[in-house]
């Protein structure tokens, strides 16, 4: 009886996961039957007025921001992990860990608030506009790909996103580094290695499973990050082919347009975007688990 209850409750999770996929698929039905699942993803124009819906600009925006964010955040995040796990005395490591957890705890929408009201105007005035003005005079041919320097666009969103996903890499990397057996370090010290060489030789390779899993996890978070990105990315339906100019991601188009979507094809297309986001997140999640298993260094061996 008890077993029955808890099993039911456990299965509710299964039910929710399955329902998520099924409901998104079902509600995306109109768009999928109209455009085809893959052609929908490849379609480059999204026009609620004309009824033409293609998600490619959003997929591109999502991939560019997420890959960019991972690239920007990986070394700082790893640096924080190494600092906390290897170099810092215990009291300092505790403070660093607290601050990293604090970063993870700040709601995305608050970071977005700061981004809209402080960061974007600031980078527009002190970074984008000067570069744009310089280019307008000295290299006008470059203006095309530089784009419109409003402050809200791919670069701003990517930088903020990078900041937000740091804690995920740091936490897993830090734990993995702490788990490296002391004999491995001692073996490196015994060979006459310096501090950094011990890290390079014995610690980081041993911890690579956790470090990689952290990176994949961060990437997964970046893909689904909605609020701060939606507030900073400019939200244009055009392909994100410029550096400073506006773009859109899959989560941001959903949050911007679902409430307004009156027409059923429009809504169905948004659901289709959601379905694709679901598939991609699923794949990345599974990849994270696989990466960690594959790269785990243990007695069973690399």
Partner 1 sequence: MTDLPAQERIRLETRKLSVDYGNNRGVRDVSLEFKDRRVTALIGPSGCGKTTFLRALNRMHDLNRNARVTGSAHLDGADIYAPGVDPVLIRRRIGMVFQKPTPFPTMSIFDNVVAGLKLVGIRDRSRLDEVAERSLRQAALWDEVSDRLGSPAARLSGGQQQRLSIARALAVEPDVLLMDEPTSSLDPQSTKRIEDLLQVLKNDVTIIIVTHNMQQAARISDVTAFFLNGDVIEAGSTDLMFTNPQDSRTEEYVTGRFG
Partner 2 sequence: MNLARRYIRDRIVLAGIVLASLVVLVPLLIVIWYVISQGVSALNVDFFTRDLGSPTRAQLGQPTGLAQAILGTVFIDVTALLLALPVGIGAGIMMAEYREHPLNGLVRTLNDTMNGMPAILKGMLIFAIVVKPSGTFSGFAGALALFVVMLPIIARATEGALTMVPWSIREAGLALGLPRWRVILATVIPVARPGLVTGALIAFARAAGEAAPLLLTSLGNNFLPRNPWNPLEYLTRAADTLPQRIYSLAVSPYRDWHAMGWAAGIVLIGLVIVVFFIGRLLTRRRE
Tokens of residue 92, six digits: 């300092």
Of 101, 183, 186, 260, the residue at the interface with partner 2 (CB under 8 A) is 101
Beta bridge partners of 226: none
Least distance between partner 2 and beta carbon 61 (Å):
15
Which residues between 242 and 271 bind partner 2 (CB under 8 A)? 251, 254-255, 258-259, 271
Q: Is 285 in the site for partner 1 (CB under 8 A)?
A: no
Which residues between 17 and 76 bind partner 2 (CB under 8 A)? 17-20, 23-24, 26-27, 75-76
Q: Which one, of 112, 105, 111, 146, lies nearest residue 127 by Cα?
A: 146
Residues 83 and 79: their CA atoms lie apart, in Å, by: 6
Which residues between 128 and 157 bind partner 2 (CB under 8 A)? none
Residue span binding partner 2 (CB under 8 A) among the ranges 16-24, 135-143, 179-187, 291-299: 16-24
Q: Is 283 in the site for partner 1 (CB under 8 A)?
A: no
Of 101, 125, 186, 260, the residue at the interface with partner 1 (CB under 8 A) is 186
Residue span binding partner 2 (CB under 8 A) among the ranges 50-58, 173-181, 236-244, 274-282: 274-282
Q: Please, are residues 151 and 128 in contact by the beta-carbon 8 Å criterion?
A: yes
Residue span binding partner 1 (CB under 8 A) among the ranges 28-36, 100-108, 168-176, 184-192: 184-192
For partner 1, the closer CB: 183 or 260: 183
Of 41, 143, 146, 282, the residue at the interface with partner 2 (CB under 8 A) is 282
- The site partner of 232 among partner 1, partner 2, none (C-beta below 5 to 8 Å per kind) is none
Q: Which one, of 282, 283, 273, 287, lies nearest residue 62 by Cα?
A: 273
Q: Which one, of 292, 130, 158, lies nearest residue 215 by Cα?
A: 292
Q: Is 231 in the site for partner 2 (CB under 8 A)?
A: yes
Q: Please, are residues 162 and 156 in contact by the beta-carbon 8 Å criterion?
A: no
Q: Is 197 in the site for partner 1 (CB under 8 A)?
A: yes
Which residues between 205 and 264 bind partner 1 (CB under 8 A)? 205-206, 208
Residue span binding partner 2 (CB under 8 A) among the ranges 9-17, 138-146, 174-182, 237-245: 9-17
Beta bridge partners of 247: 234
Least distance between partner 2 and beta carbon 131 (Å):
21
Query: Per residue in 97-119, is it b (16+ CB within 10 Å) or e — as a string?
Result: beebeebeeeebeebbeebbeeb
Q: Is 202 in the site for partner 1 (CB under 8 A)?
A: yes
Residues of this chain that interact with partner 1 (CB under 8 A) are: 183-184, 186-194, 197, 201-202, 205-206, 208, 297, 301-302
């Amino acid at each position: 009886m008890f077993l029955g209850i808890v099993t039911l409750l456990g299965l509710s999770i299964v039910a929710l996961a399955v329902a998520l996929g099924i409901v998104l698929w079902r509600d995306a039905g109109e768009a999928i039957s109209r455009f085809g699942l893959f052609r929908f993803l490849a379609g480059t124009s999204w026009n609620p007025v004309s009824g033409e819906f293609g998600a490619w600009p959003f997929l591109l925006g999502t991939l560019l921001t997420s890959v960019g964010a991972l690239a920007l955040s990986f070394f700082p995040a790893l640096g924080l992990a190494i600092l906390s796990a290897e170099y810092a005395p215990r009291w300092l490591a505790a403070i660093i860990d607290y601050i990293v957890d604090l970063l993870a705890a700040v709601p995305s929408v608050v970071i977005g608030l700061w981004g809209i009201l402080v960061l974007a105007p600031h980078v527009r005035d002190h970074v984008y506009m000067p570069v744009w003005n310089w280019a307008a005079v000295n290299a006008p041919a470059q203006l095309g790909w530089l784009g419109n320097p409003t402050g809200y666009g791919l670069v701003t969103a990517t930088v903020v996103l990078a900041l937000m996903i740091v804690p995920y890499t740091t936490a897993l990397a830090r734990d993995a580094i702490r788990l490296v057996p002391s004999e491995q370090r001692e073996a490196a010290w015994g060979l006459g290695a310096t501090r950094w060489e011990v890290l390079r030789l014995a610690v980081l390779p041993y911890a690579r499973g956790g470090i990689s899993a952290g990176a994949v996890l961060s990437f997964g978070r970046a893909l689904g990050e909605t609020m701060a990105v939606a507030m900073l990315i400019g939200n244009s339906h055009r392909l994100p082919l410029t550096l400073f100019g506006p773009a859109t991601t899959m989560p941001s188009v959903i949050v911007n347009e679902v409430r307004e979507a009156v027409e059923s094809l429009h809504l169905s297309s948004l659901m289709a975007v959601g379905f694709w986001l679901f598939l991609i997140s699923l794949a990345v999640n599974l990849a994270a688990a696989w990466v960690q298993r594959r790269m785990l260094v243990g007695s069973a061996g690399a």
